[in-house]
Structure 1
Amino acid sequence: MKDSRRLDVVLHSATGLKKVSASKMAVFAVAWIEPSVRVPSPSNVKAYGTNPVWNTTISLSLEERTMAQGMYLNIELLGHGLVSTRRIGFVSVNMTDIFQKGSKGAAVHSHFQAHPVTRKSGRQQGLLTFDVHLHECPNLLAVQEMIPKNGASIPRSITVVPPASSSPQGPFDFQVQQSDEIVSPGSSTSSEDGDNDHPKEPVRTHTRVYSLRPKSFSSLLACH
């Protein structure tokens, strides 16, 4: 299953269960978090009577979205006799704390000693001892190791702005015309006393004139 976590339910034993069969009663369990996926205890493990001992494991596969919902772990105990199988009782455990502790990928182990078993009528009869082990997720642990320890944030995205085009956009092209102009030094008004003693050379200046020229005849028509 994609992006799944393994959850092991280790059944140890139960005491004081209700006897639901007149004959010898074999007790087995079914565990689930999502009702559509129920996993029974191994069929090769036999436990009998009102004080059964299993020491077996039921393994569940959980999706990340299931863990985020903080659902319940349900364990149903069934008694199988010679004729029929009847319900003994069930245990329901809130998994919110366990899922929160393992949300970053770490393994979590929790022990439930003598948890009350609830019958169909709502009365409690019997005690169940079991462990819950949420396995670690290497992918989530790897992500945590990539996060900077000094509190620096990782940019979520980088925006790259392309450089502005050097050529103008539109139906016209720019033309640059350069002309040379000779300015007589006598036209300057900032001369000081004594400057007239030396002849001054004409000063050549450069002037740029910008004009617009249509790129094509069709583009010129498009502008009107």
Structure 2
Amino acid sequence: VRTPWLLRAQIEVVNASTVRSAEVRETTSATGSRLEATLIGAGETALRIRVPAGMRLVALRVDGRPVQARPEGDGVVARAKLGANTRLAAQFASNLLDIQERALLDYPFVKNSKPACAIVVPKGAGERERLAAFRIQEYFRYWYGRVQEPATEVLLPIRESDAPGSGPLVRLSITAGKKPRVSLQGRDLVVEAASAEELEESVFALLRALDWKYWSPDWHPQAAVRARLANYGRDG
């Protein structure tokens, strides 16, 4: 995309006189984002690069060479010497989803239209923890019952346990002071948080990421989950 507006939205060339033209492209994935720019100009300048919300910069390269950057506001600042065809690449990763995209999207929730894992909450889990587990259960029930053809009933089991399982398991965990995180630990997909509210938010983020694979052209699975939440606990 070759527009000054988009350039400024993603990268600000502080010394504008050093750049004559620019092309910017941003690609996103389930667990991160990548910004690429081709800058044509002459001279050294600072570059302010916006970091997408909920993400962090993990790598920045100019013409293939690593470049240091310092945080500033909602982005980072780095210096670069512009030339005839200066190429910049910035790689961002999710602060929450500490897992490779392929590992997440290929996780064995279901195999051969049958549950391949269970959702585990701690013993004595509260209502909101059980609700978070229900959201995941409903997500897959909708996908396999309404989107995939032929439709089939898939209900990932939900159980309470504090003991390590044999996996694969989707394990929900609340620990005081724990930073929200979704990660692969052995064969388990673990969603951790410090409070029930943060756990719910983390589960929603997980489902948004899974929408990259479990998607419907007429209705995202998450929408179906929200539509059924009012009935949670009423159908036995």
> For this structure pair, what is the TM-score category when the shorter chain's length is used for normalisation?
under 0.3
- In terms of fraction of residues, the more strand-rich structure is 1
Choose between structure 1 and 2 for higher RCO, CA contacts under 8 A separated by at least 6 residues. Answer: 1
TM-score, normalised relative to structure 2 = 0.22
TM-score, normalised relative to structure 1 = 0.23
- In terms of fraction of residues, the more helix-rich structure is 2
